[in-house]
Chains A and B, each alone.
Chain A
Amino acid sequence: MNLDFSQIVPSIPFILEGIGATLKFVSVSIIFGLVLGTVLALCKISKRKWLKWPADVYTSIFRGTPLILQLMIIHYAVPQLFLYDIPVFLSAVLAFGLNSAAYVSEIIRAGIMAVDKGQVEAAEALGVSYRPMMVNIILPQALKNILPALMNEFITLTKESALVSTIGYMDLMRRAEIVGAQLYRNFEPLLVAGIIYWVMIFILTNIGSWVERRMRQSD
């Protein structure tokens, strides 16, 4: 068996730098997706058709086409239209954030609908207006129920982030590929990258469990 890790040791710091690059755009994408997803979810449950309809169309488009296609369109096709040379980081965040928002909006919508209708009535009867009612009463309860589903989405996003290597973003995956190409040895750098991904997901999962435990305090 031809396996030799000694050759990639000097390249390991180079690969490790990818962690920061990956985490940076993943965390921005998650937050972006979460905020936009929440807004979309609120539009979807609205009684006003002109809010609901665009949100449904949005979800249909971003869930109905491949993420890599969306990434390519944002990074290569949009500049063709606007003659704007879009930085890879921005493309990556836009593609992943917009895509994630579609999924997150459905998760949050389900979470809101699962909150007892009496909660809305109790808040309304106290004279609480829509915004504080959503922010302080409905969403916290919805969030508690959908946390496992949201964690799933974040984990998927973190792993799928490797797709940005295709547009030249210097993330973990891209760096492993570069090292592999330089050394003509692919197994070792890819294995290192794989382990790093696994550790990142492991930590993320544990953070999720910790948050979940904290939110279950009131049970």
Chain B
Amino acid sequence: MIKTINLTKTFGDNMVLKNITTTINRGEVVAVIGPSGSGKSTFLRSLNLLESPSNGFIWIDDKEITNPKINKSEIRKHIGMVFQHFHLFPHMTVLENVMYAPIKVKNQSKAQAEESAQELLAKVGLMDKINAYPNRLSGGQKQRVAIARALAMKPEIMLFDEPTSALDPEMVKEVLDVMRDLAKTGITMIVVTHEMNFAKEVADRILFMDDGRLMEEGRPEAFFSKPTTKRAEEFLSKVL
């Protein structure tokens, strides 16, 4: 369970997150939507402390991760993250990318890491690319490797930061399909996305953000058919 209490983040004079208070339950799939610059990514990046909150608290299960004494690496071991621009390690092959963290962070043996890496790469449909370097892959393939790389750490929570925004349109589906399968496994997923159909269909709950505030949250059917705030209504009329 993830709980944020009055989560606030400022960059200089600019307050990008304003008192976000919400709870995300174990196994829940949450889509975070809203206009550009509304603080969605910052919110997501706060959850694994890539951004350190200026104020407020984040609890993950019974740990307060905003405690300054917390070991960030330890927290991040349990939280996978997928970025808009993939950030695969370019000097490693696909297989090495997926094996790296389990070996270095979890001290898995090479054989063990390789076995689970192959399993994951098979799951995302990239067995034929395991020895390729990232720059030989298409965007969709890169993003699937990135998902496999994050999953290799066996995280309890997966964060997706606009995972399809940098992709050519014809590659969006292959990535969303992988995410759809993943959502069925019962892992906790938080997805910042502009893919409204994906949000509608896969998410258990929608968080709508605007101007650093969490404006509205609710079940997708309710949110998409009858948003309660004016701002959400305006936003939906533009994107749907």
Q: Give A residues with C-beta under 8 Å from B.
A: 116, 118-119, 121-122, 124-129, 132, 136-137, 140-141, 144, 215, 217-219
Q: Known: A121-B83, A218-B133. Contact between A126 and B101, CB under 8 A? A: yes
Q: Known: A118-B83, A121-B83, A136-B100. Contact between A127 and B89, CB under 8 A? A: no
Q: Mark B83-118, 1 if CB is under 8 A from A, else 0.
A: 101011111100000001100110000000000000
B153 at the interface (CB under 8 A from A): yes
Return chain A residues, CB-CB under 8 Å to B149: 126
Contact A121 B50 (CB under 8 A): yes
Contact B50 A126 (CB under 8 A): no
How far apart sit A71 and B153, CA to CA, in the bound complex (Å)?
52
Identify the closest chain A residue to B76 (Cβ).
A127
How far apart sit A125 and B83, CA to CA, in the bound complex (Å)?
10
Q: Known: A132-B104, A136-B100, A136-B104. Contact between A127 and B77, CB under 8 A? A: yes
How far apart sit A121 and B81, CA to CA, in the bound complex (Å)?
10
Return chain A residues, CB-CB under 8 Å to B74: 127
Return chain A residues, CB-CB under 8 Å to B72: 124
Return chain A residues, CB-CB under 8 Å to B91: 140-141, 144, 215, 218
Identify the closest chain A residue to B79 (Cβ).
A125
Assign chain B's interface to a size class: 20 to 34
Contact A129 B73 (CB under 8 A): yes
**Of B75, B87, B134, which contacts A118 at CB under 8 A?**
B87
Identify the closest chain B residue to A218 (Cβ).
B133
How far apart sit A219 and B135, CA to CA, in the bound complex (Å)?
7
B58 at the interface (CB under 8 A from A): no
**Of B85, B101, B134, which contacts A128 at CB under 8 A?**
B101
How far apart sit A137 and B81, CA to CA, in the bound complex (Å)?
17
Return chain A residues, CB-CB under 8 Å to B89: 119, 122, 137, 141
Contact B81 A125 (CB under 8 A): yes
Contact B104 A218 (CB under 8 A): no
B48 at the interface (CB under 8 A from A): yes
- Interchain nearest-CB distance for B49 vs A (Å): 8
Contact B135 A218 (CB under 8 A): yes
Contact A122 B83 (CB under 8 A): yes
**Of A118, A119, A126, which contacts B150 at CB under 8 A?**
A126
Return chain B residues, CB-CB under 8 Å to A124: 50, 72-73, 76
Contact A218 B83 (CB under 8 A): no
Contact A128 B105 (CB under 8 A): yes
Return chain B residues, CB-CB under 8 Å to A137: 89
How far apart sit A132 and B104, CA to CA, in the bound complex (Å)?
7
Contact A116 B105 (CB under 8 A): no
How far apart sit A132 and B101, CA to CA, in the bound complex (Å)?
10
How far apart sit A121 and B90, CA to CA, in the bound complex (Å)?
14
Residue in B80, B87, B92, B100 whose Cβ sees the most chain A Cβ within 10 Å = B87
Return chain A residues, CB-CB under 8 Å to B104: 128, 132, 136
Return chain A residues, CB-CB under 8 Å to B81: 122, 125
How far apart sit A217 and B104, CA to CA, in the bound complex (Å)?
23
- Interchain nearest-CB distance for A122 vs B (Å): 4
11 A-B pairs within 8 Å (CB atoms) are namely A122-B83, A122-B89, A124-B50, A124-B72, A125-B48, A127-B73, A127-B77, A128-B101, A128-B104, A128-B105, A141-B89
**Of A119, A129, A136, A140, which contacts B87 at CB under 8 A?**
A119
Residue in A116, A121, A132, A215 whose Cβ sees the most chain B Cβ within 10 Å = A121
How far apart sit A140 and B105, CA to CA, in the bound complex (Å)?
19
Not counting A125-B76, A128-B101, A218-B90, a sample of 20 additional A-B residue pairs whose C-beta atoms are within 8 angstroms of each other reads A116-B87, A119-B89, A121-B87, A122-B81, A125-B150, A126-B76, A126-B101, A126-B105, A127-B73, A127-B74, A127-B77, A127-B101, A128-B100, A129-B73, A129-B105, A137-B89, A144-B91, A215-B91, A218-B133, A219-B133
Return chain B residues, CB-CB under 8 Å to A132: 104
How far apart sit A137 and B97, CA to CA, in the bound complex (Å)?
10
How far apart sit A48 and B49, CA to CA, in the bound complex (Å)?
20
Identify the closest chain B residue to A215 (Cβ).
B91
How far apart sit A215 and B87, CA to CA, in the bound complex (Å)?
19
- Interchain nearest-CB distance for B95 vs A (Å): 13
